[in-house]
Chain A
Amino acid sequence: MKGLAQIIGKRWSSLSIAKKLYVVVGIMAFLIAGELLILEFSMTTLSAVRAFVGGEGLWSKAQKDSAISLLRYELTRDEQDFQAFLDALKIPEGDHLARISLEKPVPDRESARQGFLAGNIHPDDIDPMIDLILRFSNVSYLKRAIAAWTEADLVLSEFKAAANEYRRLLHEPNPDREKIRSVRATLSTLNERLTELETQFSDELGAGSRWMEGVIISLLFLAVLAVECIGLTLTFLTSRSISRRLENISDTAKAIGEGDFTRRAVADSNDEIGRVALAVNQMGGLLEHSYADLNRRVEERTRELANAVKSRDEFLSIASHELKTPLTALQLQLQALRLLISANGEGPAVSPQKLQGLIDTSEKRIRKLSELIDMLLDISRIEGGKLKLELTEVNLTDAVKDVLALFSEQIAQAKCVLSCEIDENVRGHWDRFRLEQVITNLLSNALKYGASKPIEIKLTRESGDAVLRVRDHGIGVRPEDKLRIFNRFERCASSQNFSGLGLGLYISKQILDLHGGQIDVDSGSGHGSTFTVKLPLREPGDEKGASA
């Protein structure tokens, strides 16, 4: 039972709204048709009752006509009058035949029809009357009426027999007056009895008719009530379900519109509303997804921006720190020079070598400062995409040797052993100034992070590339930092121990990228590092190669 209800519910929910409305209207039409059938049946039945009352009238009239004809015959002794008596009796006799035919175990409608026709019943009324008897003969009123009719038929046959006896007596040569009186008395009694039965029949029929009217009115009332109730209930349920689901969709759409992208409408039917709910839900899903995506991207971008600002702030602090250190040295040296000059002759004697040394270191600081400023300018060029190479025929061997010569003093100070393995005449079409910058950066890093341990420099030709390797045995680079160190402002060494802008490797990488070359690091933390620079020997677009 529950399963059936579920199947019906499922089928119902998959119907379109138009079909649902058709079903509701269809049920209403079916109920109204039923009501009409009841009405038609009622009308037919009432009409049959009316026909019975008419038939009873004919029956009674015929019986009274027969009595009158008999009285006339008594006076006139005219056979025609007696014949009229017999003719009058044909009507009740026809009715009798009809009743007998219908009371058979298998009712004989045709015979009954012939009987009613003889009883002067209108042909159109005959079928309803037959139906009434067949359907309602067991209903008390009709049962009693038919009983009266049956008895009346019996009395009538006695009446007819008495009339025949009366006629025979009148025609006797010596009529027995006494007998005649007795028969007349019998006839009179029978006539009175017939009148009583007729009255009884029509009373019962009248009561039955009133009862039936009551029943029919009740039936009609109930039918109308049922139609109204079922119709209203179906309409109410259908419209409520439609409006509730529409409200649900409208609430959902409103909530989504107000920013609650997780709200979903109930989409449990396959009709138009179900499809709208589904579409609203899809829209909600899309919005939720897009909003989450947007939020994520905004957060990501905000984080990136915050990091960029932080990096820039740190860079500015580092840059100012880096600029202040040589400035401090310069300032102190100038103060020392001033002191030495003003104290000339008064204090301890100052050797010209000492003065020369102070001036030399001051100049070095100035060079350092201008290098820092160049680096800052390079960064702004790279940022603006304005770093351009000036390509000429370059002997990289010479460039490496020149940079090493510049570092000789620093190498000696750091008490560092330098071993070189440099191929002669490694030539290419490059920017010498920029490549010297790269070599300087690698060498100064090796000295800075090399912990005064041996440094190896190797320049070779390897399969179409000039390859420069700078190897130190210092603190090295952690594997997770290998890519990071080539980024802007990045240093992997502790900022408490090592100065620097964190730009050298970044600028070197940009310079090599512009040359179509590359820079890599091979290192393990604490085991030193090897920086490898590769530069294409052939010019870009020169298929024959630089050696040709």
Chain B
Amino acid sequence: MKHILIIDDDMAILEALELLLSRNHRVTATNRASDALEMMEKNRYDAVLLDLLMPIMSGQEFLRRHSARGDNTPVIVMTASSIYAPELGDLKFTALVHKPFQISELEAAIMRATEQP
């Protein structure tokens, strides 16, 4: 059983993901990226699910700080962008899933991300 941290400012998505993923994983959810960074200092997570477009601290900013800390927890980015890609630039992340997605796609991505050595 993996411990997954979900970061998304949309409460509906957060709730639904929590419900769906808690069948197979231990799930923690937050709607603020800054809170998530604090939580990651205290606990170890097997994977992080990250929304990009969030107020106060964006997903990009989270990725910058995450890699600056040298944390190698895999991050799966969830984005609704297609043509208009928000600047991810050379930010490091493990996988990218495009919204809207099937839960099975997300499960597969989590599986691949957590299997990596």
Chain A interface (Cβ < 8 Å from any Cβ of B): 313-314, 316-318, 320-322, 324-325, 327-333, 335-336, 339-340, 347, 357-358, 361-362, 364-365, 413, 448, 451, 494-499
The answer to whether A317 and B84 have CB atoms under 8 Å apart is yes
Count A-B pairs with CB separation below 8 Å: 101
**Is the C-beta of B37 less than 8 angstroms from some C-beta in chain A?**
no
Of the listed stretches B7-15, B65-73, B109-117, chain A binds B7-15
Instruction: Give the total of B residues in contact with A, Cβ under 8 Å.
Output: 33
Give 30 A-B contacts (CB < 8 Å), ordered by A residue.
A313-B83, A316-B83, A317-B81, A318-B84, A320-B84, A324-B99, A325-B13, A327-B100, A328-B101, A329-B16, A332-B16, A332-B17, A332-B103, A333-B16, A335-B20, A335-B102, A335-B103, A336-B16, A339-B20, A339-B23, A358-B15, A358-B16, A361-B11, A361-B15, A496-B58, A496-B87, A497-B53, A497-B58, A498-B55, A499-B53
A67 to B82, CA, bound (A): 148
The answer to whether B61 and A496 have CB atoms under 8 Å apart is yes
A144 to B55, CA, bound (A): 134
Q: From B103, which residue of chain A is reached at the shortest CB distance?
A: A335
Interface of A is mostly: helix
Q: From A449, which residue of chain B is reached at the shortest CB distance?
A: B55
> Do A328 and B19 form a contact, CB below 8 Å, given A361-B12, A495-B86, A496-B58?
no
The answer to whether A328 and B13 have CB atoms under 8 Å apart is yes
**Is the C-beta of B56 less than 8 angstroms from some C-beta in chain A?**
yes
**Is the C-beta of B47 less than 8 angstroms from some C-beta in chain A?**
no
Q: From B78, which residue of chain A is reached at the shortest CB distance?
A: A328
> Which chain B residues border A496 with CB–CB below 8 Å?
52-53, 58-61, 86-87
Q: From A320, which residue of chain B is reached at the shortest CB distance?
A: B82
**A364, chain B: closest CB distance, angstroms:** 7
| Contact residue among B54, B99, B100, B102 (Cβ-Cβ distance under 8 Å from A497) | B54
Additional 11 contacts, C-beta under 8 A, given A328-B78, A329-B16, A335-B16: A317-B81, A317-B83, A320-B80, A320-B84, A321-B53, A324-B100, A331-B100, A339-B19, A364-B12, A496-B60, A498-B55
The answer to whether A365 and B12 have CB atoms under 8 Å apart is yes
Interface of B is mostly: loop
A362 to B59, CA, bound (A): 25
A364 to B102, CA, bound (A): 21
Within 8 A of A (CB), among B1-45: 10-13, 15-17, 19-20, 23
**A86, chain B: closest CB distance, angstroms:** 145
Q: From B13, which residue of chain A is reached at the shortest CB distance?
A: A329
> Which chain A residues border B20 with CB–CB below 8 Å?
332, 335-336, 339
A364 to B13, CA, bound (A): 12
Q: A-B pairs with the 3 shortest C-beta distances?
A: A317-B84, A332-B16, A496-B58
Q: From B51, which residue of chain A is reached at the shortest CB distance?
A: A325
A365 to B99, CA, bound (A): 15
**B107, chain A: closest CB distance, angstroms:** 11
**B18, chain A: closest CB distance, angstroms:** 9
The answer to whether B56 and A497 have CB atoms under 8 Å apart is yes
| Contact residue among B10, B19, B83, B86 (Cβ-Cβ distance under 8 Å from A325) | B10
The answer to whether B60 and A324 have CB atoms under 8 Å apart is no
| Highest count of chain B CB atoms <10 Å: which of A316, A318, A324, A365 | A324
A365 to B16, CA, bound (A): 13
| Highest count of chain B CB atoms <10 Å: which of A362, A365, A499 | A499
Q: From B85, which residue of chain A is reached at the shortest CB distance?
A: A317
A496 to B11, CA, bound (A): 18
Q: From B101, which residue of chain A is reached at the shortest CB distance?
A: A328
> Which chain B residues border A330 with CB–CB below 8 Å?
100
> Which chain A residues border B59 with CB–CB below 8 Å?
496
Q: From B53, which residue of chain A is reached at the shortest CB distance?
A: A499
> Which chain A residues border B23 with CB–CB below 8 Å?
339, 347
| Highest count of chain A CB atoms <10 Å: which of B10, B17, B55 | B55
> Do A328 and B100 form a contact, CB below 8 Å, given A494-B58, A496-B53, A498-B55?
yes
**B82, chain A: closest CB distance, angstroms:** 6
> Which chain A residues border B11 with CB–CB below 8 Å?
361, 413
A494 to B52, CA, bound (A): 12
A362 to B10, CA, bound (A): 12
